[in-house]
């Protein structure tokens, strides 16, 4: 196996990063590009031995890193952000090649957000405090103590952004990290290891191990020295991780799937509502937050559909490296097969295809809108994770809310209305971790993020991230009892 491969002119190390060193494995797996199906290279495929080594390195580095003053930890996180910003173009082209998302989005939004993740949590760390309070004359002081080695398992749809959303607060909190990227998009995690090392992060504080969940993931999540596990991905995988972690009572943060509604009321700005709906095809529909269930009030449904078809029809699907492309490929042939399976079963059950409903050459799936779908049908109730939307109508506010909440998920919801009182009334009833009113995908790192029901466990963001990645301590001190040192 070659130690390094060249991807779009960028050198990427294919080995793990453990204890400040590159570590090879006997076995490998092939990483392919969804753009054209070409093999990018053979990647080190870790197992229990690599998991053990990574946890041991993180455990060894933990005492020193936990004792590092906040200001120094913050400085190093800012140095990592500097390194990211210097390599935005390289990171963008490698990630586009690896996972098929739009290059223009990586350049202008995603990679700058990666740097911001580090800067935000570095700065938040320096302001993290709870005002002291008294209990019958005794003082109470709340502190956030580093928890220990953290296993962070990240998805393939936004690899580096979602990885650093976890890595940055975990490191800021004084923990050491074992990052396990998705096997379908591992490359930018390897580049992050290089950037962190160049920034001066001590050996063992950040470790990156690659491989399959059943081989290395289980060994990491069941390890007794791991003190936190954060996972973004599917519900079935989360259940396996939770079962694995249960023996050690390792705390979990789980950000899982969604089947989010996009509610359009008759009083909404219809042009805005259509724009919001078409935006749900972003990243070829591979967005957990996407409002894939369009719920439109009866009286405007026909006009909404007409405008939607026209707007969606103007989307350009093709090579994600082309600035003019709006929708790129889906990540993997298996994912494409899954998407098409959902659509074809829905059609067989009586769903009507308004647009799309078929594959295109390569790993592309046509943007699809299905109507005449039953509320209890698979395509309405289960996450497709592709460019597939359903459209249902409702007669009044009560029915709209009922349909919106009628799934096992509760990650997000989007609401289009021109009535602020209705917005307040409806959002209060929606089961979701995030609700957007007349907007979509506006996320501030100081806000809590997570899902309800099967969409997840816990919240991260701002102080909530530190609450998860730390052991909170309350110190109660009596007003008397100290010797007089005067």
Q: Are residues 237 and 344 in the same domain?
A: no
Are 19 and 104 in the same domain? Answer: yes
Number of structural domains found in the chain = 2
Q: Is residue 443 part of a domain?
A: no
Check if the beta carbon of residue 402 is closer than 8 Å to that of residue 345: no
For 333-391, the pLDDT digits (tens) are 999 999 999 999 999 999 999 999 999 999 999 999 999 999 999 999 999 999 999 99
pLDDT in tens, 222-253: 999 999 999 999 999 999 999 999 999 999 99
Query: Is 350 part of any domain?
Result: yes
Do 249 and 356 lie in one domain? The reply is no
Give DSSP secondary structure letters for 454-471. TTEES-BSHHHHHHHHEE
Residues 232 and 286 grouped into a single domain: no
Whose structure tokens read 């990574």?
Answer: 54
End-to-end CA distance of the chain: 69
480 assigned to some structural domain? no
Which pLDDT value is given to residue 1? 63
Q: For all residues of the chain together, what is the average pLDDT?
A: 97
367's CB contacts (< 8 A; 6+ apart) are 281, 285, 312, 315, 317, 327, 355, 356, 387
Catalytic, 150? Answer no
| Mean pLDDT calculated for residue range 268-293 | 97
Closest CA to 227 of 166, 147, 301, 289: 147
**Same domain assignment for residues 57 and 108:** yes
439 classed as catalytic? no
In this prediction, residue 323 carries a pLDDT of 95
pLDDT digits (tens, 9 = 90+) for 58-114: 999 999 999 999 999 999 999 999 999 999 999 999 999 999 999 999 999 999 999
pLDDT of residue 483: 79
pLDDT bucket at 180, cuts 50 / 70 / 90? very high
Proportion of the chain above pLDDT 70, given as a percent: 99
Range of the domain at 161: 4-256+455-474
| Spatial distance between the Cα atoms of 79 and 447, rounded to a whole number of angstroms | 24
Q: Which residue in 255, 297, 383, 460 is the catalytic one? A: 255
- Same domain membership, residue 470 and residue 358: no
In a domain, 444, yes or no: no
Candidates 288, 297, 460, 470; catalytic one = 288
Residue closest to 356 by CA, chosen among 378, 382, 330: 330
Task: Answer whether residue 55 shows pLDDT above 90.
Answer: yes
Q: Between 1 and 195, name the one with better pLDDT.
A: 195
Same domain, 297 and 427: yes
Domain identity same for 169 and 43: yes
Residue 294, domain CATH: 3.40.309.10
Does residue 449 sit within a domain? Answer: no
Distance, in Å, from the CA atom of 262 to the CA atom of 297, rounded to the nearest integer, reads: 11
**Confidence class of residue 485 from pLDDT cuts 50, 70 and 90?**
low
> Do residue 142 and residue 95 come from a single domain?
yes
Kind of pairing between the strands at 470-477 and 452-453? unpaired
Query: Residue 151: which CATH number?
Result: 3.40.605.10
- pLDDT score for 2: 82
Residues 244 and 271 in one domain: no
Give residue 486's pLDDT band: very low, low, confident or very high (50, 70, 90): low
Burial 153-191 (b: 16+ CB within 10 A, else e): bbbbbbbbbbbbbbbbbbbbbbbbbbbbbbbbbbbbbbb
d(CA 42, CA 267): 54
For residues 78 and 194, state if they share a domain. Answer: yes
Residue 276 pLDDT > 90, yes or no?
yes
pLDDT of 444-466, one tens digit each?
999 999 999 999 999 999 999 99
Residue 442 belongs to a domain: no
Residue 109 lies in a domain: yes
Is residue 249 domain-shared with residue 307, that is, in the same domain? no
Residue 481 lies in a domain: no
Asked if residue 11 has pLDDT above 80, the reply is yes
Asked whether residue 175 carries a pLDDT value surpassing 70, the answer given is yes
């Amino acid at each position: 196996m070659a130690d390094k491969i060249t991807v779009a002119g960028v050198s990427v190390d294919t080995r793990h990063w453990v204890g400040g060193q590159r570590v090879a494995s006997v076995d490998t797996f092939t990483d392919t590009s969804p753009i054209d199906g070409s093999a990018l290279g053979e990647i080190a495929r870790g197992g229990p031995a690599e998991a053990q080594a990574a946890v041991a390195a993180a455990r060894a580095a933990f005492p020193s890193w936990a004792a590092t003053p906040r200001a120094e930890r913050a400085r190093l996180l800012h140095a990592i952000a500097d390194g990211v910003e210097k390599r935005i173009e390289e990171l963008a082209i490698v990630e586009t090649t690896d996972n098929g998302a739009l290059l223009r989005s990586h350049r202008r939004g995603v990679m700058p957000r990666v740097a911001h993740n580090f800067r935000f949590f570095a700065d938040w760390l320096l302001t993290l405090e709870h005002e002291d309070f008294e209990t019958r004359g005794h003082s109470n002081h709340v502190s956030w103590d580093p928890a220990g080695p953290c296993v962070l398992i990240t998805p393939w749809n936004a690899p580096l952004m979602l990885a650093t959303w976890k890595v940055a607060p975990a490191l800021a909190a004084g923990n050491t990290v074992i990052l396990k990227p998705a096997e379908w998009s591992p490359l930018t995690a390897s580049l992050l290891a290089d950037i962190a090392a160049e920034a001066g992060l001590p050996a063992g504080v950040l470790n990156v191990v690659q491989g399959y969940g059943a081989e290395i993931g289980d060994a990491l999540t069941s390890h007794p020295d791991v003190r936190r596990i954060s996972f973004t991905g599917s519900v079935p995988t989360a259940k396996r991780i939770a079962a694995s972690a249960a023996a050690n009572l390792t705390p979990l943060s789980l950000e899982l799937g969604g089947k989010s509604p996009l509610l359009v009321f008759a009083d909404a700005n219809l042009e805005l509502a259509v724009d919001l709906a078409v935006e749900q095809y972003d990243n070829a529909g591979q967005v957990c937050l996407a409002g894939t269930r369009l719920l439109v009030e009866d009286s405007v449904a026909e006009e909404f559909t007409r405008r939607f078809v026209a707007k969606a029809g103007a989307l350009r699907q093709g090579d994600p490296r082309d600035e003019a492309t709006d929708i790129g490929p889906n990540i993997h042939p298996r994912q494409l097969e899954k998407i098409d399976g959902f659509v074809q079963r829905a059609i067989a059950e009586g769903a009507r295809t308004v647009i799309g409903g078929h594959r295109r050459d390569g790993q592309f799936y046509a943007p699809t809108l299905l109507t005449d779908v039953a509320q209890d049908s698979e395509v309405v109730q289960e996450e497709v994770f592709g460019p597939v939307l359903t459209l249902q109508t409702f007669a009044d506010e009560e029915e709209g809310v009922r349909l919106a909440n009628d799934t096992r998920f509760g990650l997000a919801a989007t609401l289009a209305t021109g009535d602020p009182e209705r917005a307040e009334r409806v959002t209060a009833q929606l089961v979701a971790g995030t609700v957007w009113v007349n907007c979509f995908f506006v996320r501030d790192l100081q806000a809590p993020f997570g899902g309800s029901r099967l969409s997840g466990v816990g919240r991260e963001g701002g102080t909530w991230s530190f609450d998860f990645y730390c052991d909170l301590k309350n110190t109660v001190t009596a007003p008397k009892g100290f010797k007089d040192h005067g």
